[in-house]
Structure 1
Amino acid sequence: MAAPALIALAHGSRDPRSAATINALVAEVRSQRPDLRIESAFLELSKPGFHTVVDRLVRAGHEEIVVVPLLLSDAYHAKVDVPAAIAEATARHEGLRIRAAGILGLETAFLQILDERLRSALRSARVRELDALVLAAAGSSDALANQAVARLARVWGARHKLPVTAAFASTAPPATGEAVRAFRAEGRRHIAVASLFLAPGFLADRSAELALEAGAVAVSDPLGAHPEVARTILARYAVGAVELVPV
């Protein structure tokens, strides 16, 4: 019996860099599991759309699919958009079994990626000293999702023995610029910002712009197509595939 297909489902963006990054990430996933049928798909704004990919897999004979939402926060998209898309796809294809795996979430293993990306940004900016950190994320109207980012920020700061603030590009305060200015008001002058975004796009760009305007010495690139993110996708897939096995 063939293993379930894997759809790595991202939200989508009008920024073509976003889809390119997601596709590069999925290529990394394929390199780690060449035995699996693995596809990227998007809820909106980018192509291919989720239903297009599901139709393609059904035509290829796949009867089981595990969907891994490429979302860092367990908020509206994870709780509403993804289940709705899966319910619609299941209704359109009789006999098709689709399981939504857990979202990527905020793995502590991602802190190593943040460090790598930030070290690269610091080298480019020729910065050798830091006295504060800001962890910049998208932000959500879901307070629990924002609290999860704040918890990760505290863990990250403890690793480096530096004060750290979580900041958000939309919906929730503080914005990255506000977080940087707050540290500067305390007398701190070497403040770096790590981008807790999966891929480039408007929110990541705006977050970086506000941080640099406020005096940040460096802003890292998003997580991107990193092998550790690919391993996390496969870990989520493995759980979803087991849940498809009849009891």
Structure 2
Amino acid sequence: MSTQALILFAHGARAASWAAPFERLRDLVAARTPGVDVSLAYLELMEPRLPERAAALVAQGVTHLTVVPVFLGQGGHVLRDLPLMIDELRAAHPGLTVKVVEAAGENDAVLRALADYCVGAL
């Protein structure tokens, strides 16, 4: 078991089909990062939630966790809810190093890929 893990953090939805693209993204990332536990966690409406997934990873020996918010923008969930959850994770698991990166939609490479897709749609 690796001591490093990556959680793709998404909002969640009532319809299970909503998660399909996130599951595909998880699988693509996992294929490119052998030896790293890559998983999904959700803010609400779906399981696992971020605190439970992080706790399970810590129980498996993970000591370094990277959280990627798979959101297009920095709305209230990324600006308010996620930092509170991360503070709670750090308090509950003092031996866990947690790194949170910018929301996926705030990243230039992601925006360029979306722009390429949109232009290609013409």
If the length of structure 1 is used for normalisation, what is the TM-score?
0.44
Q: Distance in 1 between matches of 2:56 and 2:3?
A: 16
- Point out the structure with max Rg over C-alpha: 1
1:74-153 aligned within 5 A: 74-106=74-106, 107-116=111-120, 118=121
1:113 is displaced (CA, Å) by 2.5
Q: Distance in 2 between matches of 1:99 and 1:87?
A: 11
Partner of residue 18, structure 1 = 18
Give the letter aligned to residue 52 of structure 1. E
Q: Distance in 1 between matches of 2:118 and 2:33?
A: 24
**Pairwise CA RMSD of aligned residues?**
1.7
Partner of residue 202, structure 1 = none
Q: Distance in 2 between matches of 1:47 and 1:13?
A: 10
Give the letter aligned to residue 32 of structure 2. Q
Give the conservation status (yes or no) of the 8 Å contact 2:63–2:96: yes
Length, aligned pairs only: 117
CA displacement, residues 149-186 of structure 1 (integer Å, 9 cap, x when unaligned):
xxxxxxxxxxxxxxxxxxxxxxxxxxxxxxxxxxxxxx
1:36 is displaced (CA, Å) by 1.7
Write out the 4+ residue segments of structure 1 that deviate beyond 6 Å after TM superposition. Answer: none
Q: Distance in 2 between matches of 1:68 and 1:58?
A: 17
CA displacement, residues 18-63 of structure 1 (integer Å, 9 cap, x when unaligned):
1222112111111122232111110111111111110111011011
Question: What residue ranges of structure 1 are gaps of 5+ in the alignment?
Answer: 120-247
1:78 is displaced (CA, Å) by 1.1
If the length of structure 2 is used for normalisation, what is the TM-score?
0.86
1:10-49 aligned within 5 A: 10-49=10-49
Higher relative contact order (CA 8 A, sep 6+): 2
Give the conservation status (yes or no) of the 8 Å contact 2:3–2:63: no
Give the letter aligned to residue 66 of structure 1. T
Identity, % of aligned pairs?
30
Question: What residue ranges of structure 2 are gaps of 5+ in the alignment?
Answer: none
> Counterpart of 1:105 in 2: which secondary structure?
helix
1:65-80 aligned within 5 A: 65-80=65-80
1:115 is displaced (CA, Å) by 4.0
1:102 is displaced (CA, Å) by 1.2
